Structure 1
């Protein structure tokens, strides 16, 4: 089955960010996300899931275990299970990305303060 943002399950997270579940299998999750300007995700980690963040458009800051990485369009980075992380869009443009997780992150997320 062909999937796109129009046919995928949609949800809203954070302060007006969008997610479209392109693949939603217990072993693999692929989500197309859109982050408006000046938004971020809460700092957290996953007990089992490893993730790969791939930037389709825009620029993000990805903090992983206290180190900040800048990812631009067509760049990506893996985050291993157990690594505290947080993604930020500190720009004035929307950011679109793919977040690939194995296994999927449902029930696997631990929020940090």
Structure 2
């Protein structure tokens, strides 16, 4: 059994948290938490397809220039080669699951 309580933890970006639920070459599943007002760098993945599923809060996702507010119990697929950026534009933390197939390791290109 794996959970946020026993998974490998890391800190990324602007004091955001991540927990590796599955960490394999063919699949990466991460539970992430973003404090209010935080964001990641805009980027894309050459091969990896991702699915973001919000557990609580609202995740603002810019995908190819279009904004999507993903609410609790909603998800959004990010196809390979799609430019995107996750942000928390609210005053509350947001928690979500990111599923990547295959892993995003070595497959990310940051954009200006």
Q: What CA distance in whole angstroms lies between the structure 2 residues aligned with 1:98 and 1:69?
A: 16
Q: Which residue of the partner structure matches residue 91 of structure 1?
A: 90
Query: Could you tell me how far 1:104 is from its partner in structure 2?
Result: 0.6
Q: What CA distance in whole angstroms lies between the structure 2 residues aligned with 1:112 and 1:91?
A: 24
- Within-5 A mapping of 1:20-35: 20-35=19-34
- Within-5 A mapping of 1:1-113: 2-113=1-112
Q: What CA distance in whole angstroms lies between the structure 1 residues aligned with 2:107 and 2:93?
A: 27
Query: Could you tell me how far 1:7 is from its partner in structure 2?
Result: 1.2
Q: What CA distance in whole angstroms lies between the structure 1 residues aligned with 2:8 and 2:47?
A: 23
Query: Could you tell me how far 1:14 is from its partner in structure 2?
Result: 0.4
Q: Which portions of structure 1, spanning 4 or more consecutive aligned residues, are displaced by more than 2 angstroms? A: none
RMSD value, Cα: 0.5
TM-score normalized by structure 1?
0.98
